[in-house]
């Protein structure tokens, strides 16, 4: 059975849930457990998506797609030149 990986939008929502729970006085470890992820996963998500809103997330996705398209174009041109 395949492992379901959360989408970036879901990750941002979970990070906000932890912030809300901590704001209510819950210890960070308990708040992380509440959203059903490990500490390591939480900190990795926080490093990548921390402080990001939905608009910024959409912009990040758009830039990643454009970057991939440009890399493919450069790769194709390099192969044609060889």
pLDDT tens for 9-31 read 899 999 999 999 999 999 999 99
3-state secondary structure of 60: helix
Q: Is the pLDDT of residue 2 over 80?
A: no
φ/ψ bin of 36: left (φ > 0), alpha (ψ from -120 to 50), beta (otherwise): left
Q: For the chain, give the percent of residues with pLDDT over 90.
A: 59
Q: Is the pLDDT of residue 46 over 70?
A: yes
- Residue 67's Cβ-count burial label (10 Å; 0-12, 13-18, 19+) is exposed
Cβ-based neighbour number of residue 14 at 10 Å: 20
Percent with pLDDT over 70 in the chain? 99
Q: What is the pLDDT of residue 71?
A: 95
pLDDT at 54: 77
Residue 24: strand, helix, or coil: coil
């Amino acid at each position: 059975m395949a492992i379901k990986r959360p989408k970036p939008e879901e990750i941002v929502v979970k990070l906000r849930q932890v912030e809300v729970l901590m704001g209510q006085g819950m210890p960070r470890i308990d708040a992380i457990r509440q959203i059903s992820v490990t500490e390591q996963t939480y900190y990795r998500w926080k490093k990548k998506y921390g402080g990001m809103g939905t608009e910024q997330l959409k912009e990040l996705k758009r830039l990643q797609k454009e970057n991939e398209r440009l890399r493919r174009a450069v790769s194709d041109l390099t192969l044609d030149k060889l």
